Structure formats: structure tokens, C-alpha cells
A and B are shown apart, each in its own frame.
Chain A
Amino acid sequence: DSGVTQTPKHLITATGQRVTLRCSPRSGDLSVYWYQQSLDQGLQFLIQYYNGEERAKGNILERFSAQQFPDLHSELNLSSLELGDSALYFCASSVWSGNTGELFFGEGSRLTVL
């Protein structure tokens, strides 16, 4: 158990819809990261927050947005969903903003868009 909690574990929805994925980081961790893993793909970095502020941005689509709340949990919002958005979405956390790359990952949220 990494201490990072993601909900929901599974989500099935239709094209055009909007979903919200939630992440609670490990106790004491200030940084939250979001990654997308599509079929046969590596983990694609989407976005990082540190203590409520956006810290780094990857290849995140404009239809996607995220935020980190004062209690440090984070939400990833995916809107106008397309079939290609079907993927595993991982949240990870770490103590620091700049780090040596050791992140603690949740079990992921599997999104299926039909």
C-alpha cells in the first residue's frame, strides 16, 4: 500500500461526457502528479501540483484540467470525452516539488469511454 488513494477505481462513460478523478496523496506529501497510461503506452506525464500551485505541465489536453485543494487532495477533470481518452490514470505523490524522481503511485483509475 503506497498510501496514495485514487477514486473511482473503474469508470465507464460515454463520449462527450465529463468525469472527475480524485486523488488523496500520502500523508505529508505536498506534490501530486497525474499520469495517463494508454494501451501499450508508457506513462505519459500530464501535470504536477505542489502545495496547491501548478508546478509542471506535460502533454495535457485542453479538455483536461486539474487542481489541488487546500487539504492537498487533487482532482483531474476530463471533459468532452473521446474514445481515445480510455486509459489508466495514475496519481502519484512526493514530499518535495523538485525531487529525485521517487514517486508513490496510487492503483489508478481505469476510464472506459464507450
Chain B
Amino acid sequence: DQQVKQNSPSLSVQEGRISILNCDYTNSMFDYFLWYKKYPAEGPTFLISISSIKDKNEDGRFTVFLNKSAKHLSLHIVPSQPGDSAVYFCAAIGTTDKLIFGTGTRLQVFP
């Protein structure tokens, strides 16, 4: 049972434009939603999170939007830079303390 889903395995965006990564979830009991970024040969690193009581959180070029009624969240990167090229994982956590990850979306930002 995949509780956190990232249906787009890859995304290609031109430098300077907006990157939008999407994530859907099924468990309405999740308290926090997070995005992690992973470069090759490295472990995932925390990027940004949002509480279930909010609908938007912004940190510099990164903004996460949460639509609880649709059980959907998205990560916007504006403007996209070549250094943003990585795999992005959506994740969620609830009262069980289990951080559940999606399968990831590979973002490529080209010049």
C-alpha cells in the first residue's frame, strides 16, 4: 500500500523557469509533509516541510503547497537552477512516527 505517491518519475525544466513537483497521499492522519533532495552517492537531505494545519510554506526559492481536501502537495522551485538537478522525495509522517517516502522525481534543470 503506497501511502505517498509521486506519479512523475522525471521532470525536465529550463534554467530560470519554475519547477513543480507533485505528490499525492492517501492517509489523512499525516501531521507533517516534507520534501527531501538527493544527489547521487549522497544520502537524502531535508529541504522543506509543512504542517497539516497550513497550506503554504516558503523558504527562499522553495515553496510547498498543501491541499488537504485533495490530499495533494507540491513543491515549487523558482527560479530553477542547474544545481537543483537531483531526485526529490516527498515524505509524510503521522502519529506512528514512521516517515513514509514516495518513489521520487528526478529533476533535471538544463541551461
Contacts and interface: CB of A to CB of B under 8 A. Distances in A.
Given A45-B98, A55-B97, A101 B34 contact: yes
A14 B12 CA distance: 39
Interface string A87-101: 000101000011111
Contacts, number: 65
Interface residues of A: mostly helix, strand, loop or mixed? loop
Given A100-B32, A101-B32, A101-B91, A45 B43 contact: no
B46 interface: yes
A32 to B, nearest CB: 13
A2 interface: yes
B93 A42 contact: no
A24 B43 CA distance: 14
A103 B99 contact: yes
Interface in B66-106: 89, 91-93, 96-104
Interface residues of A, number: 28
A102 B41 CA distance: 20
Interface of A: 2, 4, 33, 35, 40-45, 48, 55-56, 58, 90, 92, 97-108
Interface of B: 4, 6, 9, 31-34, 41-46, 49, 51, 89, 91-93, 96-104
